[in-house]
Amino acid sequence: MGTADLPEALSNVLFGIQRIIRRKLRHALDRPRLRGAQVELLQLVAANPGIGVSAAAKELYLAGNSVSTLVNQLRAVGLLHRETDPQDRRSALLLPTSEAEAQLRAWQERRVALVREQVERLSEDDRAALVAALPALHQLAEGLQEEVERL
């Protein structure tokens, strides 16, 4: 494969891996499935407890009313708290419930275990190639993030 083919091949492989991981993990869930945007919002709130709806919308590149809809959906299933901001009564602060934090931890553990199992099946040379590729993949991710932030 030439370097001209690399962007398409890499994006197809990365998308395929992510899709397969999501599909595999969905089968192990004992709760109703959450949509991708709901999971992304929960992950953002867990990483930034007290984030506001507007800041979450900006971070996720969604409209404020879309985030408000997601917040209402997640509150309805007991995964998110919405509190009035004491500094600005018109704003809300978002906090994950303990159930949401537990569910995110369990999802992360299952995801890592699934990938670990597959990595262990690879040859030593393939594992070494993946380790060697990680710095370049991190740089690629940072470059893509910078592109998104310029939007």
> What are the structural domains, with CATH classification, of the chain?
6-149 (1.10.10.10)
Q: How far apart are CA 6 and CA 82, in angstroms?
A: 44
Place of tokens 């991708």: 36
Q: How far apart are CA 44 and CA 47, in angstroms?
A: 5
Which residues lie below 8 Å from residue 63, measured CB to CB, with a gap of 6+?
A: 57
Q: What is the DSSP letter of 93?
A: E
| 71: exposed, middle or buried (Cβ count in 10 Å: 0-12, 13-18, 19+) | buried
What are the structure tokens assigned to 94, written together? 């978002």
Q: Which is it for the CA torsion 102, 100, 26, 144, positive or negative?
A: negative
What is the percentage of the chain residues whose pLDDT exceeds 90? 60
Q: What is the mean pLDDT of residues 77-105?
A: 91
pLDDT, residue 1, reads 74
Q: What is the mean pLDDT of residues 40-46?
A: 95
pLDDT, residue 22, reads 82
Query: Does the pLDDT at position 31 exceed 70?
Result: no
CA angle 117, 35, 106 (to 5 degrees): 40
Convert the pLDDT of each residue in 61-89 to its tens digit.
889 899 999 999 999 999 999 999 888 88
